[in-house]
């Protein structure tokens, strides 16, 4: 059993790893034997995360890397350095941002901003990873973080859902193009996840009503609770491990049943909290 889901000797890059899902992936992968590289714009966050992992495990297996995934030069240089030092076995394309609003309130600038991170950023990181994996000749794994919005309509998420639909299409394209080079690619599709962003968002916008607002956000989930980042990390561990060698080009909902269960609340409670969509459209959320 000790060898089940082992990542011993693997080298993994996780983007968006300063907190939330990415940080939990990095911690769990390191516990299973991987050497992990935490990528994020937040340099202090990834440095602190790497320090926390190394302290918890009593060994230097984590490195924080400040990198803007939307900038090709930064991505190429960061990936190239890691590839030269020992190769890249795993990429978790997890960095992403969100947007609330329908097409009436969403602006072109909103689309450009979210596309830049959620599509361009994934593309640039996948391109750099594939280049390194092909050159090494040992294959590898790319795991994209999509959303339940990749698979199921969600009210007032036109911009966000568009990018997450593209994430799913990019996943199947990568899997198709590189299967014969031993590179697998899959997509995790989470529902609403309880990350530090959620707590900060509620605290900032609803002082004194934190518990009420948290309950409303959680009620969108059929099981009436948000996912914890470690639950996403557990699914990720399976998909990047050798136990999933025959799994590629697939989407994995982990959403409490949003996609697969007939849930009566097929709407987003953000609209209840924000009668004005003009206000709601300016809010950024991470599912």
Query: Computed over its alpha carbons, how large is the radius of gyration of the chain?
Result: 18
8 A C-beta contact, residue 181 and residue 133 = yes
Task: Name the token pair of 190.
Answer: 């989470």
| 10 closest CA partner among 117, 135, 141, 121 | 141
CB neighbourhood size of 254 (10 A):
18
Task: Name the token pair of 185.
Answer: 């690619």
8 A C-beta contact, residue 105 and residue 277 = yes
Task: Show the DSSP H helices in the chain as ranges.
Answer: 20-31, 43-57, 72-86, 108-115, 122-136, 158-178, 196-205, 210-218, 229-240, 270-273, 277-280
Cα 100 to Cα 82: distance, rounded to the nearest angstrom: 36
Active site residues: 160
Cα 114 to Cα 99: distance, rounded to the nearest angstrom: 7
Cα 236 to Cα 269: distance, rounded to the nearest angstrom: 28
């Amino acid at each position: 059993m000790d060898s089940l889901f082992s990542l011993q000797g693997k080298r993994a890059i996780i983007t968006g790893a300063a907190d939330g899902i990415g940080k939990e992936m990095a911690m769990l992968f390191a516990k299973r034997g991987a050497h992990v590289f935490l990528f994020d714009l937040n340099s202090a966050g990834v440095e602190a995360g790497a320090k926390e992992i190394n302290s918890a495990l009593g060994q230097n297996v984590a490195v924080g890397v400040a990198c803007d995934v939307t900038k090709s030069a930064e991505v190429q240089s960061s990936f190239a350095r890691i590839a030269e030092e020992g190769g890249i076995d795993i990429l978790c394309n997890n960095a992403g941002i969100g947007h609330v609003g329908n097409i009436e309130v969403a602006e072109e600038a909103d689309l450009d901003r979210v596309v830049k991170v959620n599509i361009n950023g994934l593309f640039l990181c996948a391109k750099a990873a594939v280049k390194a994996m092909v050159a090494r000749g040992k294959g590898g794994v790319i795991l994209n973080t999509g959303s339940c919005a990749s698979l199921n309509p969600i009210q007032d998420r036109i911009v966000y859902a568009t990018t997450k639909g593209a994430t799913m299409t990019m996943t199947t394209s990568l899997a198709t193009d590189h299967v014969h080079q031993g590179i697998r690619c899959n997509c995790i599709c989470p529902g609403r996840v309880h990350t530090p962003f959620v707590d900060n968002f509620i605290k900032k916008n609803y002082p004194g009503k934190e518990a009420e607002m948290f309950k409303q956000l959680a009620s969108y989930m059929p099981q009436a609770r948000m996912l914890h980042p470690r639950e996403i990390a557990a699914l990720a561990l399976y998909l990047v491990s050798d136990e999933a060698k025959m799994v590629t080009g697939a989407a994995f909902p982990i959403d409490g049943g949003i996609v697969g269960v007939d849930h009566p609340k097929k709407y987003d409670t953000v609209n209840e909290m924000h009668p004005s969509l003009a206000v709601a459209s300016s809010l950024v959320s991470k599912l």
